[in-house]
Amino acid sequence: KKNDSKMLVDTNSINNKSHQNLKIINFSNNSLMVEVSSDTSYYLIFLQNYYSYWKATINEELQPILKVNDTFMATKIKKGKHTVKFSFYPKKIVYAAYFSIASWILFIVILIFEKTLGIVKYYKTDKKIIRALAALFTF
């Protein structure tokens, strides 16, 4: 599901009279967790490049992420105290890593069987098959 929601922020419209508190709980390359409290509703803007693999949760409930100024991210915060988490989970990269690990495990198993049982000699072929498998699984 593509999210094309956008918003532009005019810094002159920021209200200095509201009482907002923000405390960073955790910050890493792929996540940000903050505790926020405010007496009004507002948008929490995260100055991180927008990408579809980012997810936002408020009190562990999934929230939509809005694109701000065509590059940053924001989510709407209601008044009160909340725990907000932005997390980055690139599914395709994770699946590719799992596939790569499984391929290496299969390759090592084939090598072990070849060394212990002499599968290559059993099928009257040479070790070029093992070299070809090694080339296939190293991408």
Domain boundaries, given as residue ranges, for the chain = 6-88, 91-137
* Residue 19 C-beta-side C-alpha neighbours within 13 Å: 4
User: In the chain, pLDDT over 70 holds for what percent of residues?
Assistant: 68
Is residue 7 packed enough to be buried (19+ CB in 10 Å), middle (13-18) or exposed (0-12)? middle
* Token pair of 66 as six digits: 């809005």
pLDDT at 61 over 90: yes
Whether 45 shows a pLDDT value over 70: the answer reads yes
In the predicted structure, residue 138 carries a pLDDT above the cut 70 = no
* pLDDT above 70: residue 101: yes
DSSP state of 115: H
User: With contact defined as beta carbons under 8 Å apart, do 66 and 5 qualify?
Assistant: yes
The pLDDT assigned to 110 comes to 81
Residue 10 has pLDDT above 70, yes or no: no
> Is the pLDDT score of 17 beyond 80?
no
Tokens 């991210």 identify what position? Answer: 73
Tell whether domain 6-88 is in CATH 1.20.950. Answer: no
State yes or no: pLDDT of 92 exceeds 80: yes
